[in-house]
């Protein structure tokens, strides 16, 4: 398909030359031909520049954008600003598009003028697409905001194609975050009232990473990750308060506060716990109960027992990371 709106594909890359070529080949093989692909090179020290430039030399739809070291967030923002497209998608340099990723998304936008985001299904693979046979997550239940607030990530960042005019309203990727960046961007889109259209077709293949790096994290890195999560949920609470929806999502906000406070307590990070204590937005009675219980935790450090009582009293469930379930791929 050679006509239609321009779609921008932004690929942040840092020292991923071995996998970048396969990623760009999957973009070049798209059945929809009206795209621009910007490789936002975060000061790579391997052959990323050579790989990106080799595609650009053969195909004018590809561009290599060399940047000073600033992290994936800054690279995504730089690629976004360099793009001229009406629709945008952010692809990771080690993952792959299915051939109809862009065509199916453009067709969906054409059929639904109200859509701000089109999200296709994502499959997870290890060595080659289809080898594991399961999906990133299920699309049901359909209250995506509630699910994201519970850390049930319905789609990864590359699963969504954004209408640029809406993405401009959401704002840039938050460069201060060192983790949970794509989770934050999708959550902010939903908080901004995104009209999301789902496509029950596998359009992205995400490479399954090795053992979780969090298992070998230093205490300071864990604290930073918790501070990132606090920032994400503080923004969410503020947005929900501003538009009057906080009561509708009170349980999710409170559960997140409890989860973060428990994790902070396990690290002995009282400053983080005090920040989390301020995230509570329950009704007056329950807020006073929460304040008493969190105060007890801060004074005694007996977080395990106290959290059990508090969760039972408030009827809360600690959130779980539920994505990457073993939903069989079609």
**Beta-carbon neighbour count of residue 114 at 10 Å?**
8
Regarding pTM above 0.75, the answer is yes
Strand pairing category for 196-207 and 117-125: parallel
How far apart CA 83 and CA 70 sit, in angstroms, is 19
Q: What is the CATH number of domain 7-207?
A: 3.90.550.10
Q: What is the mean pLDDT of each run of 10 residues along the chain (330 residues)?
A: 88 92 98 98 92 97 94 95 97 97 98 97 92 89 92 93 97 94 95 97 88 62 89 91 89 80 76 66 53 63 62 60 60
State the Cα–Cα distance between residues 135 and 101, nearest whole angstrom.
Answer: 16
Contact predicate 5/36, CB 8 Å:
no
For residue 122, give both structure tokens. 């994502």
**Tens of pLDDT, residues 223-257:** 899 889 989 998 998 999 899 998 898 888 877 87
Domain range annotation of the chain: 7-207, 214-314
The residues near 307 (Cβ < 8 Å, ≥ 6 apart) are 258, 261, 262, 297, 318
């Amino acid at each position: 398909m050679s006509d239609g709106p321009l779609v921008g594909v932004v690929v942040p890359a840092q020292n991923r030359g071995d996998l970048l070529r396969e990623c760009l080949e999957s973009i070049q093989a798209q059945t929809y031909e009206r795209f621009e692909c910007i490789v936002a090179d975060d000061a790579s020290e391997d052959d990323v520049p050579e790989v990106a430039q080799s595609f650009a030399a053969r195909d004018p739809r590809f561009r290599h954008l060399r940047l000073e070291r600033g992290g994936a967030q800054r690279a995504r923002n730089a690629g976004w600003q360099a793009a001229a497209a009406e629709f945008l998608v952010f692809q990771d340099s080690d993952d792959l598009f299915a051939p109809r990723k862009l065509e199916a998304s453009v067709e969906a936008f054409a059929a639904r003028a109200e859509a701000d985001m089109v999200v296709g299904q994502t499959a997870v693979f290890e060595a080659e697409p289809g080898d594991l046979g399961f999906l990133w997550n299920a699309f049901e239940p359909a209250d995506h905001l509630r699910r994201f607030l519970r850390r049930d990530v319905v789609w990864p960042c590359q699963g969504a194609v954004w209408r640029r005019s809406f993405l401009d309203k959401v704002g840039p990727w938050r460069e201060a975050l060192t983790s949970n960046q794509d989770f934050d961007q999708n959550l902010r889109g939903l908080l901004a009232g995104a009209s999301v259209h789902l496509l029950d077709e596998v359009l992205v293949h995400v490479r399954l990473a090795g053992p979780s790096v969090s298992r070998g994290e230093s205490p300071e890195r864990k604290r930073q990750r918790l501070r990132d999560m606090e920032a994400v949920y503080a923004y969410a609470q503020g947005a929900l308060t501003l538009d009057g929806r906080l009561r509708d999502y009170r349980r999710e906000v409170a559960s997140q506060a409890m989860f973060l406070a428990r994790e902070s307590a396990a690290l002995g990070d009282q400053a983080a716990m005090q920040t989390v204590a301020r995230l509570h937005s329950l009704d007056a009675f329950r807020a006073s109960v929460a304040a008493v219980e969190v105060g007890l935790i801060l004074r005694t450090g007996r977080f395990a027992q106290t959290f059990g009582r508090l969760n039972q009293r408030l009827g809360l469930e600690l959130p779980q990371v539920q994505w990457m379930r073993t939903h069989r791929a079609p």
